[in-house]
Amino acid sequence: MESWPNSAGFDTDFEEHKSVELTVKGKIPHYVAGVLYRTGPLGFRVQTDQEKTWAANHWFDGFSCVHRFEISFPKDYSTPRVCYNSRRTVDELLEVVRKTGKLEGITFGRKRDPCESFFYKVMSMFKPATGPQNVGVTVSINMPSEQTGTQAVNGHSTGVETLYLKTDASRMNQIDPETLEPKGVCRQYILHPSLIGQLSAAHAETDPGTGDVFNYNLEMGRKSRYRVFRISSSTGKTEILATFTATPAYVHSFFLTEHYVVLCVWNSHISWGGLSVLYRKNILDAIASFDPSSKAKWYVVDRAGRGLVATYESEAFFCFHTINAWEQPSSSDAKKTDLICELSMYENLDVMHRFYYDNLMSSHESSKAYAGQKRRSCLARHAQFRLPVVEPGNPSSEPRPADVLFKSDPMVAQELPTINPSYAMRKHRYTYGTADRLKSTFMDGIVKFDNVTQTAIFWDTEAHTPGEPIFVADPEGVEEDDGVLLSVVLDGVEEKSYLLVLRAKDLVELGRAEMKGPVAFGFHGAHKALRKD
């Protein structure tokens, strides 16, 4: 087994606050012109004023950073110009850690000091969460309800009016779209007074036709409440579509179809009705042990305002990322509707523990032990479920069974999945993502998965670790895979990164833009095409 991801992908301070031009090689299609944003942690250690080193334990708790790639072309569409800038968005948090040598508040996986007294833990449960926030998992461009000026680039407009960073808590961090400076953190209750819960999905869903944005808000307690809501793109107003009680869980993403929102409460249940989060001071330790006998519950909410219309249950599983969902005539009655839901699934919760830094960095002894069968249990499968015969007018009080259509071999599956965005809420064939075939302690390639054949093709280069691929469609294309993939890749030998452009049809490299240093391994991104003024 190889183990090439070294500390350059995790423990780095490489930033470019001022835009710098990158070295472009190969051919980049002109329709890629635009702005690509990337999120993720930039380093996890701080030297404190007490001359000690403070360090986050879990990759999800690294210091949030935003990366910006601006791609433009001269009028003759010759060699493009790619400029890059980046910025941490946690200056205030870093200053607190430097001065105090500690970080208060709730994290994802931060281990508390074993010497901390039981009394301190109990008393701290009753302190409100205050202070600087570490928000930076996903990025949303032009969320409804905000209107500001656009940024001009080479006679064009980026079309980026607002930029928000999101996490799995019910708060967002507004960022300047060009300088990447943070403007301030806000909570979901500014959208609607009922959205008072603590958790939400980092991955909101957007209807590509209307521009409406959907998400859920989870209020944990003795009776935990999920509120599914919609933000109207046309009015900016927020509407609660459904409120229901269910087991609180860590749910990072969900599904959207033409007429329904589908929230699957899979088996990452938070114990004690959420009180364990306050006691443990992190999400991961608050999640109950995986129970394979417990069912995953699927809640179907009608987008037209009829509330919760159906519930289903399936085998126990865990998921970070949904892929797509769509409606199709029912297999039992063509006049009725089935929902097909597609995701990258796990058969237990082991993968969340995999992402402790000690397990990821090849230079650490723990990464060598975190191998073999323990490592194999952390592999995703590409899966499809069917929710049969959804009938809005006749909700059943008892959950009905969800059907498993297929689960792929993990060697052809993906994480950080993306698709051609024009196929959202439609039946599609291809999914792109990062591959994990046990060749390293992290990701080892880019994969294109075929739903029809359940086979895959790959791009990989020894010691080069890619990030999430973002699909940019060819506006003149006719096939689903007419377009390119954009991925930020770290060359582990040179310890420098580059923006890779792959042809989506066959994963052949078309071009790249080379950087002067290493971009830390990140989470998610979004591309916004330039528009002519």
Binding residues: 203, 252, 321, 524
Measured CA to CA in angstroms, residue 83 lies from 70, 177, 202, 467, 489 at distances of 5, 14, 27, 19, 16
Q: Which residues are annotated as a binding site for Fe cation?
A: 203, 252, 321, 524
Cα gap 409→485, rounded to integer Å: 23
Q: Beta strands of 429-482 (E only): which ranges?
A: 430-435, 445-450, 455-459, 464-466, 470-473
Collapse the DSSP code of 106 into the 3-class scheme (helix H, G, I; strand E, B; otherwise coil) and give the result: coil
Assess contact for 48 and 74: CB atoms under 8 A. no
Give CA separation, 351 vs 251, 437, 520, in Å: 14, 14, 20
Encoding tokens for residue 288? Answer: 């109950």
The Cα-based distances of 327 to 300, 389, 396 in angstroms read 12, 10, 19
Which amino acid makes up residue 428?
H
Cα separation, 318 vs 403, in Å, equals 16
Contact 300, 309 (CB under 8 A): yes
3-state DSSP helix/strand/coil % of the chain, to nearest 5:
15, 40, 45
